[in-house]
Chains A and B, each alone.
Chain A
């Protein structure tokens, strides 16, 4: 790879970065347009045995709306120092006034002297580069023409009308397998499925090792794997094909190919170690690097390629040289809290091309985990498809045999003639083969259509969900900005600059104080987790999003940028960060994982279970006394009954008891306390949250109205009155349990109190007033309430229950004043 190729790469890359940054990336729109690249070689006058090459890159039609060419020229010249070519520009600004058409056709030319042989390889390399670009930018077209000593050849690269899978973030993957594997031409159309069905893995954040982190990256590198199986041309319906080769395609930000600087040795050390990507043994495969990369093939050239050899386990089984190809696309993308500058992306490229190996080694375990998960999914998907295929084949042969049996058995010649004519067959034998073929083609076509439809729907859904999630943070942040006006802007800027300093400090200080760095780079810690940690991360991913797809899409596009932003600035957008953290991160802080935030933790669980219950019982002192007075049996007998296993068994089989005492408290507390409070509290503070949360709880009891209205159980007025009453006391009770939840940081306390209160019901005050032993009873009521108010603070002292995750979260978010936390 010599001057021409390098120069073309760099220029194209810069062009596309520029282009992409000019159109709004957040829209996720695909690039569209056409570029002309022509190389003209003539025998050089100065050097013998060398060609004087003039390379022209020009845009056809409208390409860069509103691009300022002079600025572009300046920038590109500063970033292309290694090119010894002469760069000239021809802009036709004069003839096409910018403000009139908004279109600026441009042309840039450079000249270089090269040997004919080098030029040939260069041309091939450029072609492959172009092919690789159009795989993810399907709407871009390249006209590549070479003219050497008058011999002219031209080629057009474009896949405009081919099916694609939208990956979001402005790139889409072409899913026609003809670009990825060569298929020998069979006479019959035996082709299985010409489409690949890529599975998008979950994105992982790459950790940049310290020794290469010299540059100021204000964002994160996120790797998203996508995997697909290229079907083998041979359809073997009986047996699942095995993987015979693996091709890896590396793409950098904006879907630009990553050409490693050590291109002559395409296998970097990370990829040389075959087990570093996937644990192949799991699939009973033995993978060796495939160095035999033919440049002259008409395919997209993989960056890394492996070949499968039969593993030690089954030596007997010979590997099919035309088995399936596993395609693995690794998209490394860059996300920053701030609008990404084109120079920044350029920097990322430089970083990636030089240090990709080190980065991948550093993030080895997460990368492997994500890829393995993706490959698993692909294989499973393929397995299902193959099974369905088998079923189809079996059913078809039954159907065809039945038709044949009727046809051959028929005594009506007109019927037979008609059938043969319809398929234009001469005799029954030909009819059978034709019938089989037609039947298979049609059903298979429909079948495949069916599965490709699924892919399309998948993309659509993906888009929708992506938009759905995008809108939320977008709007809220916008509102926030509007609400706080310029102040917020200022703050944000300040914070931003602060943040930058912080980052710098961090880079320098990371080595001595990893513990301090840990909270700022949560994914970094995740990256070095043990496999179990990885599993947890995976599980978390599954649990959080309804599926892998939505997780993947949620992290796409601007939403991913938001996420990155939120990770970067713990104290940033105040109302959002903790919410996101609560939603997102089990790995936010060690003490504030999702489960602990929801009150599932062990620290201080015994006091948390006992003390709130005790407090509630004190409040219910009066009703309890009343209960014991009205109870026909004495205490010993009562205890005997309570402790008897039979009574428990009876309780546990009684659905109503289970509902009132176990299920309802658990689920209601889970929803209205554990799930709501960690989200409400960071938005409105602890105090308001305590009083807002029970409102939801009260409203949730309104459905009784509907029920009562429907069955007309009493007059409308009474129904609403009782509903209002119920609303008020559930709200009061909800506030109490919310208070308990925040003060103890445990879910168990509120659940037990809830269960207890459900058992007691609303105190029967009227009955107490008419009770024969009215006086002691009323005293008990009063004493209970008094003691309760007295003990409310000391018994729920947060010190008794260890560190409170919610408080820790708020503290980190800069909300240090929270009065309930002390």
Chain B
């Protein structure tokens, strides 16, 4: 590469390369890699036919004098989720379902709304146009009430038709940023080069459509917070440890009421997955040493319960936890006053993560979480700046990468 900035000497990547080898070996051992996510995308006509079939079912049941109902897999309980080390959280094949009936006072509204959004999707697919979830909400905001209702129904429809959201011609705005050694061509032919200095490129909204990805990157680093991402860019981290790729997903304030913090958006997750599928370079996460950071990492790695029906397209089980490990705090003697005590909510979250199925196959993660639970303290990545202002990019990350400090 002509303009490739000078990275560290080759010996720096020895451990990383070995890690990559082991990952590839594991992949080979597991037989053929799991069905590539993007490969089976429902065509427009398939989507149209499945919507028509649903309508036909409704009309037939009406003709039989039965109240029509939708049957949707129940994705809100852990009983319907199975964990597979190579895929992440998946729906079990014979999961319990819930019915959305048209004749019960409680669900009749939801029934009608599902039909309404189905008809909108039908139009979108027919005319080959795309709309965001927000667009759909604003077509009749009075009827929908709030955005969450629309989001949930779209997820339900996606689950019911077994078609990805993309195939439903529904977009979600990308919130993610990407920087580093990566070039690709978007569906419409735009050439994108992420390899430039202090600015990052937005994650494209049509991940399935990007082609010709080229990279020399030795690793991909997922950064939880936008602020840290910017900081690393400013410190010229990309060039210092070149070649590499950095990705962040600015928190999407999706469920302001319930969570307070965001979860990674779909496009960023799809991109990470795509990078892994294409290049099989190691993927690391840099998150806060708090339960929420762990949750975000778990979503990248194993997927979430509500999107479990699409897990095989979204998860990257090869992801490793690079930092900030709760054990690092002690090891590096991070000053106590930069730590934050866990709140009750944090405690509850931590407990719930510890109970999840995937923790059993991650003994080191478990240990780290137990350390956090014991110390009752959490820390943000910024805590490292107490040691020195560029400690993170100059010392912490290079050392971790060089000596394999991930788990």
Contacts and interface: CB of A to CB of B under 8 A. Distances in A.
A403 B56 CA distance: 10
B118 A402 contact: yes
Interface in A663-686: none
Contacts of B112: 394-396, 398-399, 402
Interface in A415-459: 415, 418-419, 422-423, 435, 438-439, 442-443, 446-447, 450
Contacts of B373: none
Interface in B53-103: 55-56, 58-60, 62-63, 65-67, 102-103
Nearest to B102: A443
A438 B62 contact: yes
A406 B111 contact: no
A398 B48 CA distance: 20
Interface stretch (B119-127, B197-205, B354-362): B119-127
A406 B52 contact: yes
B388 interface: no
B258 interface: no
Contact of A398 (B49, B51, B116): B116
B108 interface: yes
Contact of B52 (A394, A412, A443): A412
A353 to B, nearest CB: 46
Interface in B148-179: none
A447 B115 contact: no
Contacts of B102: 396, 399, 439, 442-443
Nearest to B140: A398
A302 to B, nearest CB: 33
B109 interface: yes
A90 interface: no
A422 B59 contact: yes
A443 B104 CA distance: 8
B189 interface: no
Interface SS of chain A: helix, strand, loop or mixed? helix
Contacts of B123: 405, 409
A491 B91 CA distance: 75
Nearest to B103: A446
A442 B119 contact: no
A161 interface: no
B52 A447 contact: no
A398 B67 contact: no
A395 to B, nearest CB: 4
Interface string B374-393: 00000000000000000000
B115 A402 contact: yes
Given A398-B113, A406-B118, A447-B103, A392 B59 contact: no
Contacts of A394: 112
A406 B65 contact: no
A418 B116 CA distance: 21
Contacts of A399: 102, 111-112, 115-116
Interface residues of A, number: 31
Contacts of A419: 55-56, 59
Nearest to A418: B56
Contact of A406 (B51, B63, B113): B51
A183 to B, nearest CB: 24
B105 A392 contact: yes
Interface string A55-89: 00000000000000000000000000000000000
Contact of A443 (B103, B113, B115): B103
A411 B126 CA distance: 9
A410 B45 CA distance: 11
A418 B59 CA distance: 10
Contacts of B65: 438, 442
Contacts of B118: 402, 406
A407 interface: yes
Given A402-B119, A406-B119, A396 B52 contact: no
Contacts of B113: 398
Contacts of A411: 126
A394 B60 CA distance: 22
Interface in A275-300: none
Contact of B67 (A405, A418, A446): A446
B126 to A, nearest CB: 6
A447 B105 contact: yes
Contacts of A435: 59, 62
Given A402-B115, A402-B118, A403-B115, A423 B59 contact: yes
A434 to B, nearest CB: 9
Given A398-B116, A438-B63, A442-B62, A409 B122 contact: yes
Instruction: Please indicate which of the listed interface residues B65, B109, B115 has the most CB atoms of chain A within 10 Å of its own CB.
Output: B115
A422 B119 contact: no
Contacts of A412: 48-49, 52
A388 interface: yes
B21 to A, nearest CB: 49
A403 B67 contact: no
A391 interface: yes
B119 A443 contact: no
A395 B67 contact: no
Contact of A422 (B60, B105, B122, B126): B60
Contact of A409 (B66, B67, B103, B126): B126
Interface string A226-252: 000000000000000000000000000
B256 interface: no
Contacts of A415: 52, 55-56
B379 to A, nearest CB: 29
B106 to A, nearest CB: 10
Interface string A700-740: 00000000000000000000000000000000000000000
A31 to B, nearest CB: 37
Contacts of A442: 62, 65-67, 102-103
A450 B107 CA distance: 14
Contacts of B56: 415, 418-419, 422
A498 to B, nearest CB: 58
B103 A423 contact: no
Contacts of B59: 403, 419, 422-423, 435
A446 to B, nearest CB: 3
Contacts of A392: 105, 108
A447 B104 CA distance: 7
Interface in B24-61: 48-49, 51-52, 55-56, 58-60
A659 B59 CA distance: 60
B119 A405 contact: yes
A388 B106 CA distance: 9
Contacts of A403: 55, 58-59, 115, 119
B55 A406 contact: yes
A740 to B, nearest CB: 41
B334 to A, nearest CB: 32
B395 interface: no
Contacts of B122: 405-406, 409-410
A805 to B, nearest CB: 46
Interface string A286-325: 0000000000000000000000000000000000000000
Given A402-B119, A422-B63, A438-B63, A395 B55 contact: no
Interface of A: 388, 391-392, 394-396, 398-399, 401-403, 405-407, 409-412, 415, 418-419, 422-423, 435, 438-439, 442-443, 446-447, 450
The list of the 3 closest CB pairs from A to B, nearest first, reads A446-B103, A395-B112, A402-B119
Given A419-B55, A442-B66, A450-B105, 14 more contacts: A391-B105, A391-B109, A395-B111, A398-B116, A409-B119, A410-B122, A411-B126, A412-B49, A422-B60, A435-B62, A438-B62, A438-B63, A438-B65, A442-B102
18 contacts: A391-B105, A391-B108, A394-B112, A402-B118, A402-B119, A409-B126, A412-B48, A419-B56, A422-B59, A439-B62, A439-B102, A442-B62, A442-B102, A442-B103, A443-B103, A446-B67, A446-B103, A447-B103
Interface of B: 48-49, 51-52, 55-56, 58-60, 62-63, 65-67, 102-105, 108-109, 111-113, 115-116, 118-119, 122-123, 126, 143
